[in-house]
């Protein structure tokens, strides 16, 4: 095994009816910049749903020697995750936050 990939598809806000709304930290969740958010108002392009298309979020854990050793020792998932993050693995949540911030 050389790696483990996790992926999630999330709905994308419609570009035709996307509008900016004021958001607070509690509205947007932990780690997402407060101050603004987007919402789809609904239009003929998205069939009044506010969403059009999907966006992939990804988390790739490449197996290096330290992770391989932890797996063989039957270490906990938390220990393996910590080792993977210190080796540069980006979490699904971080990938999502990056993609939201890029909009």
28 vs 68, higher pLDDT: 68
The answer to whether residues 43 and 51 touch, using CB atoms and an 8 Å cutoff, is no
Six-digit token pair at 63? 């197996």
pTM over cut 0.85: no
**pLDDT score recorded for residue 63:** 93
Question: Highest mean pLDDT: which of 20-24, 52-56, 98-102?
Answer: 52-56
Q: Rounded to an integer, what distance in angstroms lies between the CA atom of residue 27 and that of residue 92?
A: 19
How many C-beta neighbours within 10 Å does residue 89 have? 18
| Among the listed residues 19, 10, 23, 11, the one whose alpha carbon sits nearest the alpha carbon of residue 40 | 19
């Amino acid at each position: 095994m050389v790696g483990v990939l996790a992926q999630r598809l999330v709905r994308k806000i419609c570009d035709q009816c996307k509008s900016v709304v004021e958001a607070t930290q509690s509205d947007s969740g932990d780690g997402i910049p407060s101050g603004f958010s987007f919402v789809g108002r609904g239009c003929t392009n998205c069939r009044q749903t506010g969403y059009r298309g999907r966006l992939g979020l990804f988390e790739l854990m490449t197996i290096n020697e330290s992770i391989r050793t932890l797996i063989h020792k039957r270490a906990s998932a938390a220990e393996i995750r910590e080792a993977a993050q210190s080796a540069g693995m980006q979490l699904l949540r971080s990938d999502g936050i990056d993609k939201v911030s890029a909009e």
